[in-house]
Structure 1
Amino acid sequence: MKGSFGLIVGIIIAIFLYLDAPKHNKSRWLWAILGFFFGPIALGIYFIRTGRKVLGWIITIVAILLYIIIIVSIIILVVALVATGGEF
């Protein structure tokens, strides 16, 4: 279920960018592909590039912070597993 949530978010962002990009003379296919693969970071950069800087920076910073939290959590989990010999 968690993986499907990320996929759904990526698809929603890609559809939004595909529909909105031509309004700002941007390539709809490029932004849709970027939105699908990079999700909220691509959306934030798109908003920055189209003049909606405050919203763009907020989305980009929050997305990067969430990715950092996830990566640090995974590293802590791996270190804990190695330190305990794989037993919890």
Structure 2
Amino acid sequence: MELTFGLVLNIILTIYLVIDSKKYGKSPVLWGILGFIFGAVALGIYLIKTDRKVIGWIVTILSIIGYLAFILLVGLAILVAMVGFS
């Protein structure tokens, strides 16, 4: 379920970046690929590059914090699984 949600979110971001990049004279292929691979970070950088800096920085910072929290939780789960609760 979580994998499906992430994939659908990346596809929606990709469609938005491809459509919106044409309005600003940016390469839709480049931003589509970046949006599909990097997701919200690419969206934040795109918003910064198209002079929507405040929302762009907010999206970028929140997505990086989310990725770091996910990595920390996975690392903590691995640590607990290897060491145990004792």
Give the TM-score band, short-chain normalised.
over 0.9
Paired position in structure 1 for 2:29: 29
Deviations 1:42-63 (A, max 9, x none): 0000000000000000000000
RMSD: 1.0
Paired position in structure 2 for 1:59: 59
Residue 26 of structure 2 aligns to a residue in which SS? coil
Unpaired segments of 5 or more residues in structure 2?
A: none
What is the aligned residue count?
A: 85
Where has structure 1 moved over 6 Å in runs of 4 or more?
none
TM-score, with length taken from structure 1: 0.94
Identity %: 45
TM-score, with length taken from structure 2: 0.96
Displacement of 1:22: 1.2
Paired position in structure 2 for 1:20: 20
